[in-house]
Amino acid sequence: MKKKLPLIIIIILFIAISCVLGYYTYTYRKLYQSYKVQEDAKIQADQQLEQEKLEKEATENEKQKYLEENVYDNNIPIALYLLKGNTLVRADETYCNWTRDSILGLFYSLPSTDESVPCSNYESLWENLWAKYQTEGYKVGYNLKLHLDTGEEINRTLLDPIYVNDDIFSHIQLYLYDDVTYMPGRPYYHMTPEEMTDETMLTSIKLVGYKETKGVNGPIEVTVFTYNGPEDFDEETGEYIGKSKFTIKLYREQV
């Protein structure tokens, strides 16, 4: 009996060790399987991200190619000018009176970037310069950007006179003119929404101070651009994305 006792103890120890080893082996396998599942999921997620990145890059490349072929190919020069005597002088920046009903500026667009252009007849000058480029189907538009003392920014793209009832008008009065389209019997006056046609060319813009102009922080930014369709504008913001543009900054005159 005494000889059998150590053997029984050895057998019990063997079984205990086997159970412990079996438990740890099982636990290790479970942990490994869990790790493998997580690792596979991570690899799959990384592959998905890489695929999305490649698809995004492909989309961006296609978009860039489209822009290069349909938007950035517009080589029409454009700038804003002030008429001084019989000369149009390019207005890169200007200082002006911002009080109510004061004219901040009347700016003429011109298919040119020259610093000054002799002008005895604006209509003829415009038509001669416009005809030098591939301008069929192109129009002139504007963008106005204001910073208010409240911290708000007003950013408006102007393709027609609809802005008249917009909140921007209380800060700055805006008037758009067509100086080159023949309109028999019509006195020279700013355009109205009802008068807009496919032939309208908004060649000049006038800014006049109003009741809330005092709350505008300088500078006021006025951009002129040429466009020929919706592809010239950002789908989300509506802002012009072409290269045929020019911006002038208006500063408050120091008194």
Q: Which residues pair with 128 in a beta bridge?
A: none
- Asked if pLDDT for residue 8 goes beyond 80, the answer is no
Q: Averaged over 90-118, what is the pLDDT?
A: 95
Q: How many CB atoms lie within 10 A of CB 227?
A: 23
> For residue 65, what pLDDT is reported?
58
> For residue 48, what pLDDT is reported?
78
Highest mean pLDDT among 4-8, 88-92, 194-198: 88-92
Q: Could you write out the DSSP letters of every residue in 73-102?
A: T-----EEEEEETTEEEE-SEEEE--STT-
First to last CA, the chain: 120
Measured distance CA(189)–CA(201) in Å, rounded: 14
* Secondary structure tally for the chain: helices H, strands E: 2, 11
- Asked if pLDDT for residue 86 goes beyond 90, the answer is yes
Q: Averaged over 171-179, what is the pLDDT?
A: 93
- Asked if pLDDT for residue 69 goes beyond 70, the answer is no
The sign of the dihedral angle between the CA atoms of 201, 107, 144, 169 is negative
- Asked if pLDDT for residue 255 goes beyond 80, the answer is no
Measured distance CA(122)–CA(108) in Å, rounded: 9
* Element housing 250 (H / E): strand 245-252
120-147 pLDDT, tens digit each: 999 999 999 999 998 889 999 999 999 9
Q: Report which of residues 255 and 22 the model is more confident about.
A: 22
221-243 pLDDT, tens digit each: 999 999 998 989 998 889 999 99
